[in-house]
């Protein structure tokens, strides 16, 4: 076994520790890691200091990696002990405590410090920057005993500090040297709109003012300006910029300009010493925003892991203001020059402003105020450098002449893979897709832990949650809030009851009558309403394709590389030579890269291009296995008494009978069945949504099992003697689940929530069971067309054409 190298990280901040996190994923055992931090805290999210100051979070809430994380990863952490210098000749770092630690590789990630201008009085008590937890604690304690605060600097950080001080009950005035706020990110119209909004919140402003002195004896009492005017203040927060923290570099013979000079692979001028983050200077630029620092960290982690990497080439930056009630976005170049053209849209009534800056047919900058929903997509265009010729006004207005409204699901599908979803942590749509599809992240918690998406300011959480649903479909486990989603305060049962009572028949009608906050809904409520309407009115409701996710519309599963997988139905895992030949012929003809047996006893054709899907289904001439939707997936079987000497019942025949009965049954979530021919349970029936286990003279029905991320053993619902009783109880149980579970709630979670005794009581009366059986049979009668008839009607190909109809037509049509 190779002895791990010694890696020392100087700086316990976001950029350095993120690099270590990435390195641990790429090469978990390559290094013995030691981290030195100047602050007495584990790694925390500096971005959220303004949220702590504003009262929206505690110090503990912003800890990214607690002490357990370091110990779990065998990392030695020294807090409150800054490194003084690096002895490159002997390969040691020397800390303030006198500790000497050997290294093979060292990373400097010391970040930056708040710049305190050297004006008279800047060393007085009550004059601070806004950079770390100590500054935050100082402001919180000062607000308890003092009244008036001044923030010098009307940029991003200064306004966030001012908002927090307002929340602490202080009288806050922002002093800014230029004529409008955030002048490095916003043009004049947007800056004036921002000022108006913040003044309405109680913030005061002195613009065009330069501070020349801070007055007072030991403690600051006020500020004096060049024009002779003055302002009283008990606390002065300096937010006029940052300076790279290069102390350790100054004492270690490293090349320094403004920051520590690094190349595209984050090397310094001394071998085995790298620098990353705000302390580094790359191609003459130092970055103070988190997304570029993570991009640097990814390159450095790959290099240290011994992987090939193209190198870091610099970043196009974007900023968002994290102030309650104000939405501001800025990216790229916003200033006008002789070489640029600008498009602007300004609405002073609703306080909405939008500016696009174009050069040589490409978008190079954007400013959004009031409505920042298009920020990510515009930022992607800026970074990609693609031509927008002919689309300029479309991008400005968000409206394409003659086109229908775009549903939330279509927006998610149309996003580019490299579009940044979480700007704080530099997480792209593709990274989220990889985490969901390839790493099993099917909850917001696991997705956040894996990618850091929404782990910082949280502003991207709705979009991240939408993408989770988009990629995971029914596997997504999104926390249930008070209402179905943010679009309504109504819960599932209230909505279903209102639909039944008022006879609402379309998604649009439900949203209008029940007064949805968002008229077009979102990626959580639209699929849910689509299911509830279809469940309640199977004969009348026409399935709304634009409310379904990609997998369901294309009848195939999207994979991480953008290709699709096709799973034809193989009833009970029993096939024939003829069907195997069909599958083999299609796989050869369309160069399918991989054919795999699934855990549900079927064959999966992986790596198929989207445009080939209609032809493949037509040539297979087999029903879809529905491996993508909230439907019956598989019925797993053992060979039962047909061949096995232990079998007591014909498991294959029973499994095929059930699969043919329920094969097109939709549900709140996916449904998996299994049939075992004896108590040895080879088909694993006791970890399925519904599982049958054969016993002498009868069958046991087990329900509420799950074999996924959260394994749950099924519970015994009942024991019956005949196949007719099996079908009666199975149909009644499945229909009761369909009618009472929340959308996206698997049977395991549903049984845990309502209790098995409740379900037993509901199904105890035979008349009740027969009524449920009647309703499920009615539903299945409207979804019983053979797959080849669907293909003959060309319905599948229609799903591959752009959805050019309005998201909701308001009409009702029977399903044929």
List residues forming the annotated binding site. 638, 644, 678, 682
Strand partners, 95: 83
User: If residue 552 lies in a helix (H) or strand (E), which one and from where to where?
Assistant: helix 550-554
Distance in angstroms (rounded) separating the CA atoms of residues 462 and 521: 12
Among 70, 104, 74, 68, smallest CA distance to 86 is for 104
CB-based contact 286:275 (threshold 8 Å): no
Q: Give the CA distances from residue 467 to residues 306, 518, 795, in Å, rounded to whole numbers and listed in that order.
A: 32, 18, 26
Residue 716 contacts by C-beta under 8 Å, 6 or more apart in sequence? 700, 701, 702
Among 474, 391, 519, smallest CA distance to 706 is for 474
Distance in angstroms (rounded) separating the CA atoms of residues 141 and 165: 11
Helices 525-536 and 492-502: crossing angle, nearest 10°?
50
Strand-strand pairing, 31-36 and 5-10: parallel
Please give the angle made by the CA atoms of 562, 564 and 567, to the nearest 5 degrees.
Answer: 160
Distance in angstroms (rounded) separating the CA atoms of residues 460 and 306: 33
CB-based contact 296:276 (threshold 8 Å): yes
Among 479, 502, 734, 477, smallest CA distance to 494 is for 502
Residue 599: burial class (beta carbons within 10 Å; 0-12, 13-18, 19+):
exposed
User: If residue 426 lies in a helix (H) or strand (E), which one and from where to where?
Assistant: none
Helices assigned H by DSSP within 459-540? 461-472, 492-502, 507-513, 525-536
Torsion of CA 672, 673, 678, 683, to 10 degrees: -30
Distance in angstroms (rounded) separating the CA atoms of residues 623 and 23: 45
For residues 226-263, one letter each, b for 16 or more C-beta atoms within 10 angstroms of the residue's C-beta and e for the rest, the string is eeeeebebbbbbbbbbbebbbbbbeebebebeebbbbe
Residue 331 contacts by C-beta under 8 Å, 6 or more apart in sequence? 316, 317, 318, 319, 365, 366, 375, 378, 379, 382
Q: What would the DSSP string read from start to end of 186-254?
A: --HHHHHHHHHHHHHTT-EEEES--EEEEE-SSB--EEEETTS-EEE-SEEEE-S-EEE--HHHHTTT-
CB-based contact 131:239 (threshold 8 Å): no
Among 8, 3, 65, smallest CA distance to 452 is for 65
SS3 10: strand
Distance in angstroms (rounded) separating the CA atoms of residues 92 and 728: 75
User: If residue 143 lies in a helix (H) or strand (E), which one and from where to where?
Assistant: helix 133-143
Distance in angstroms (rounded) separating the CA atoms of residues 764 and 701: 14
CB-based contact 657:726 (threshold 8 Å): no
Strand partners, 9: 35, 107
Residue indicated by tokens 């502003």 = 459
Please state the residue numbers annotated as binding site for [4Fe-4S] cluster.
638, 644, 678, 682
Distance in angstroms (rounded) separating the CA atoms of residues 572 and 657: 8
Hey, how many other C-beta atoms are within 10 angstroms of the C-beta on 120? 12
SS3 541: coil
Please state the residue numbers annotated as binding site for siroheme.
682
Q: What is the largest CA-CA distance in the chain?
A: 101
Ramachandran angles phi, psi of 714, nearest 5°:
-70, 160
Distance in angstroms (rounded) separating the CA atoms of residues 699 and 188: 76
């Amino acid at each position: 076994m190779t002895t791990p190298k010694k890696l020392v990280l100087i700086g316990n901040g976001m950029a350095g520790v993120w690099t270590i996190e990435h390195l641990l994923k790429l090469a978990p055992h390559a290094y013995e890691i030691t981290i030195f931090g100047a602050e007495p805290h584990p790694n925390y999210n500096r971005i959220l200091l303004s949220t702590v100051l504003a009262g929206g979070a505690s110090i503990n809430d912003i800890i990214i990696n607690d002490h357990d994380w370091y110990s779990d990863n065998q990392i030695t952490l020294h807090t409150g002990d800054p490194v003084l210098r690096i002895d490159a000749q002997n390969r040691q770092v020397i800390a303030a405590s006198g500790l000497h630690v050997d290294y093979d590789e060292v990373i400097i990630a010391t970040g930056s410090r708040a710049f305190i201008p050297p004006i008279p009085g800047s060393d007085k008590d009550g004059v601070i920057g806004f950079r770390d937890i100590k500054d935050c604690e100082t402001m919180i304690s000062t607000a308890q005993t003092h009244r008036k605060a001044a923030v010098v600097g009307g940029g991003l950080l200064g306004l966030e500090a001012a908002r927090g001080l307002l929340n602490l009950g202080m009288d806050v005035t922002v002093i800014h040297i230029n004529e409008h706020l955030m002048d490095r990110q916003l043009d004049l119209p947007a800056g004036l709109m921002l000022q108006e909004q913040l003044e309405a919140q109680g913030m005061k402003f002195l613009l065009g003012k330069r501070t020349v002195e801070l007055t007072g004896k030991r403690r600051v009492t006020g500020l004096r300006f060049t024009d002779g005017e003055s302002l009283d203040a008990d606390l002065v927060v300096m937010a006029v910029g940052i300076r790279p923290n290069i102390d350790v570099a100054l004492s270690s013979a490293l090349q320094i300009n403004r920051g520590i000079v690094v190349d595209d692979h984050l090397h310094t001028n001394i071998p085995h010493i790298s620098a990353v983050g705000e302390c580094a200077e790359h191609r003459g630029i130092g970055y103070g925003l988190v997304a570029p620092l993570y991009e640097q960290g990814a390159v450095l982690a790959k290099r240290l892991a011994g992987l090939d990497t193209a190198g870091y080439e610099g970043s196009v930056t974007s900023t968002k203001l994290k102030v309650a009630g104000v939405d501001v976005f800025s990216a790229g170049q916003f200033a006008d020059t002789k070489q640029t053209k600008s498009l602007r849209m300004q609405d002073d009534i609703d306080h909405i402003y939008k500016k696009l800056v174009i050069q040589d047919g490409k978008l190079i900058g954007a400013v959004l105020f009031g409505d920042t929903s298009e920020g990510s997509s515009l930022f992607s265009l800026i970074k990609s450098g693609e031509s927008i010729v002919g689309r300029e006004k479309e991008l400005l207005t968000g409206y394409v002449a003659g086109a229908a409204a775009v549903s939330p699901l279509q927006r998610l599908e149309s996003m580019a893979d490299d579009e940044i979803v979480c700007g704080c942590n530099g997480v792209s749509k593709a990274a989220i897709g990889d985490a969901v599809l390839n790493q099993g992240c099917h909850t917001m918690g696991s997705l956040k832990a894996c990618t850091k998406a929404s782990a910082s300011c949280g502003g991207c959480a709705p979009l991240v949650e939408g993408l989770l649903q988009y990629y995971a479909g029914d596997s997504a486990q999104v926390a249930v809030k008070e209402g179905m989603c943010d679009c309504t305060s109504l819960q599932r049962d209230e909505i279903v009851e209102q639909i039944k009572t008022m006879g609402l028949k379309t998604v649009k009608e439900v949203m209008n009558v029940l007064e949805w906050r968002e008229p077009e809904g979102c990626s959580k409520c639209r699929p849910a309403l689509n299911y509830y309407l279809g469940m309640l009115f199977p004969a009348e409701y026409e399935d709304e394709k634009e409310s379904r996710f990609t997998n369901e519309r294309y009848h195939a599963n999207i994979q991480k590389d953008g290709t699709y997988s096709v799973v034809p139905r193989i009833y009970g895992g029993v096939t024939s030579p003829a069907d195997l030949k069909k599958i083999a012929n299609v796989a050869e003809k369309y160069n399918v890269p991989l054919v795999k047996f699934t855990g549900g006893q079927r064959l999966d054709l992986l790596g198929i291009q989207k445009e080939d899907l209609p032809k493949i289904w037509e040539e297979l001439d087999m029903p879809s296995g529905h491996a993508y939707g909230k439907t019956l997936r598989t019925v797993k079987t053992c060979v039962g008494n047909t061949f096995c000497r232990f079998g007591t019942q014909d498991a294959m025949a029973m499994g095929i009978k059930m699969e043919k009965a329920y094969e097109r049954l939709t549900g709140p979530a996916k449904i998996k069945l299994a049939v075992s021919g004896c108590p040895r349970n080879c088909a694993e029936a006791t970890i399925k949504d519904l599982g049958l286990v054969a016993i002498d003279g009868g069958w046991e029905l087990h329900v509420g099992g799950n074999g996924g991320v959260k394994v749950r053993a099924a519970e015994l619902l009942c024991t019956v003697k005949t196949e007719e009783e099996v079908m009666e109880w199975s149909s009644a149980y499945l229909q009761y689940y369909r009618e009472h579970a929340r959308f996206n709630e698997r049977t395991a979670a549903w049984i845990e929530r309502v209790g098995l005794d409740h379900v037993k009581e509901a199904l105890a009366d035979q008349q009740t069971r027969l009524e449920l059986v009647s309703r499920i049979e009615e539903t299945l009668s409207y979804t019983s067309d053979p797959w080849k008839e669907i293909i003959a009607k060309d319905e599948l190909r229609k799903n591959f054409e752009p959805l050019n109809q309005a998201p909701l037509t308001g009409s009702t049509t029977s399903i044929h």
